[in-house]
């Protein structure tokens, strides 16, 4: 089972010493990998300290180098005007803690996943999220795939990078003894290399824009904070739709797509009804949904999930994988 690195108040003080003196430390919850603390400094500033453990033995391949990815992506996104935390300090010396540490500004706002939104407020938030996505995707890179060198999942083209990503999750499945339809997934990826090759510009994809990583202005209902960019990659903007709806297999929210278009973006899915818009875009989305379903199935074992929800969650992810592979093979 994954365990977080314990971080004491003295260790937090040592990590933020380059920034100031600690007045108060409060643990934050929600992260699976990192220990996260909210820290009030004596000068009135509030920061967040995130520490990831040095032991990477139970991480999936794509999860290696998470903290470095988050720091680099936050810097890029902040410079582009995206509402992400500003990076204040990175400590990879492991002189103070058994792991790597990231210190950022604290963002105000209400975590979307904690709010009880009605239909209209949800629609407003989704439209706002679409605009944020479009802004993110205007940031371009020079290489596809996951950016962390430790993951070794980058390539010059999107077909190469995505094939490497798919093979990596299948390798993870073999390592942890998780059965997957490996031959069918490999065949689907190979069959559609031509469609993947139509993605020629590496664009920044957060890949985890679910409500637990988004802060809203409670009054306006708009996105005012984007958190946890640790799983970001350079690739096809369509991949973003999988990270924000991780068990989705059918329609894409029309309001989200409208917000994306209003911010100048275009994903090719029409109004989000399956079959609308560009059929090739829907095929690529099915590939990404199949890949993500594999991640959801495999991670259950190394993360040591327990509880009555686990079997239902895994069954849903496997059903999604089967549906996507069937549709890709049709």
Length of the chain: 330
Q: pLDDT > 70: what percent of the chain?
A: 98
> Can you read off the two tokens belonging to residue 162?
């995505």
Q: Say what angle helices 309-329 and 279-303 make with each other, to 10 degrees.
A: 150
- Measured CA to CA, the distance from residue 281 to residue 261 in angstroms comes to 15
Distances (CA, A) of 63 to 70, 153, 278: 11, 10, 32
Mean pLDDT of the chain: 96
For 66, phi then psi, to 5°, come to -60, -45
Could you tell me which of 213, 46, 235 has the C-alpha nearest to residue 153?
A: 235
Looking at the DSSP assignment, which residues form a beta bridge with residue 47? 39, 105
User: Given a cut of 90, is residue 3 above it in pLDDT?
Assistant: no
Confidence band of 109 (pLDDT split at 50, 70, 90): very high
Sorted by where each starts, the structural domains of the chain and their CATH numbers stand as 9-105 (3.30.200.20), 110-329 (3.90.1200.10)
- Measured CA to CA, the distance from residue 308 to residue 85 in angstroms comes to 35
Q: What is the pLDDT of residues 12-45, one digit of tens each?
A: 999 999 999 999 999 987 566 789 999 999 999 9
HSE at residue 132, side-chain half, CA atoms within 13 A, is 29
Could you tell me which of 201, 199, 174 has the C-alpha nearest to residue 186?
A: 174
Q: What is the pLDDT of residues 178-213, one digit of tens each?
A: 999 999 999 999 999 999 999 999 999 999 999 999
| pLDDT (mean) for 246-267 | 97
Q: Where does residue 267 rank: exposed (0-12), middle (13-18), buried (19+ CB within 10 A)?
A: buried
User: Given a cut of 90, is residue 66 above it in pLDDT?
Assistant: yes
């Amino acid at each position: 089972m994954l365990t977080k690195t314990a971080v004491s108040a003295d260790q937090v003080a040592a990590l933020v010493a380059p920034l100031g003196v600690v007045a108060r430390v409060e643990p934050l919850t929600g992260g699976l990998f990192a220990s996260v603390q909210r820290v009030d400094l004596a000068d009135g500033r509030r920061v967040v300290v995130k520490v990831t453990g040095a032991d990477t033995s139970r991480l999936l391949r794509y999860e290696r180098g998470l903290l470095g990815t988050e720091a680099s992506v936050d810097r890029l996104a902040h410079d582009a005007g995206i509402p992400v935390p500003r990076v204040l300090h990175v400590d990879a010396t492991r002189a103070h803690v058994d792991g790597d540490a990231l210190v950022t500004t604290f963002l105000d706002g209400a975590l979307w996943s904690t709010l009880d939104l009605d239909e209209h407020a949800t629609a407003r938030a989704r439209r706002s999220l679409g605009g944020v996505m479009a802004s993110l995707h205007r940031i371009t890179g020079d290489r596809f795939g996951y950016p962390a060198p430790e993951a070794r999942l980058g390539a010059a083209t999107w077909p190469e990078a995505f094939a490497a990503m798919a093979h990596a999750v299948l390798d993870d499945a073999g390592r942890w003894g998780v059965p997957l339809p490996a031959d069918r997934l490999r065949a689907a990826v190979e069959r559609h290399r031509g469609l993947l090759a139509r993605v020629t510009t590496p664009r920044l994809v957060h890949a985890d824009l679910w409500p637990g990583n988004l802060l809203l202005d409670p009054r306006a209902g708009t996105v005012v904070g984007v958190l946890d960019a640790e799983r970001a990659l350079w690739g096809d903007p369509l991949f973003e739709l999988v990270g924000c709806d991780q068990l989705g297999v059918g329609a894409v929210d029309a309001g989200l797509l409208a917000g994306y278009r209003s911010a100048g973006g275009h994903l090719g899915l029409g109004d989000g009804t399956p079959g609308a818009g560009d059929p090739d875009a829907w095929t690529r989305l099915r590939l990404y949904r199949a890949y993500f379903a594999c991640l959801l199935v495999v991670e259950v074992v190394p993360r040591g999930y327990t509880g009555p929800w686990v079997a239902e969650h895994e069954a849903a992810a496997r059903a999604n994988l089967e549906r996507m592979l069937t549709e890709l093979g049709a």
